[in-house]
Amino acid sequence: MKPLNWIGIALMSLIPLTAVAQSDDGDKENAEEASAVEVKNTKMARYCNKKAVETAIDEGISEFRACYDELKASKPEASGEAHIHWKIFLNGDIKTPKVKESSLGSDDFKTCLVDVVKEWDFEMTGGGLCMVDVTLTFGK
């Protein structure tokens, strides 16, 4: 995966991201049928490129949503939060991503979220280890 484009994304983390389904003719369907995924909280410690991390999360929302949609296929009533933690090393590699807490309960769902984070690449950092904690909300 190529490094993410960081230009002009600084404010995106302030906008709640909610899916809106579209039909083939381009009209918006009822937003209630779409799966909502929002960033509730993001914390970074040590040597983090805040813009790069926020951009990765924002660009990963659709992939997190796909994990949630897969969960909802077997548990339509599923909604709740997931707290994900990972580290970014000096070379930009993601290390030890894990779901620290989730009220949604499914191991497959947790694995899917971790797999999304594992796919990200970051540019080299200029100081040291970056630790990231993100809480996502899933559902209406």
Kindly report the pTM of this predicted structure.
0.74
Could you report the per-residue pLDDT of 67-90, keeping only the tens digit for each? 999 999 999 999 999 999 999 998
Which residue's entry shows tokens 């049928």?
33
The Cβ of residue 67 has, within 10 Å, a number of other Cβ atoms equal to 25
What are the pLDDT digits (tens) for 97-109? 999 999 998 999 9
pLDDT of 21 reads 36
46 pLDDT tier (thresholds 50, 70, 90):
confident
Domain ranges of the chain: 12-138
pLDDT at 34: 55
Q: What are phi and psi of 38, to 5 degrees?
A: -135, 150
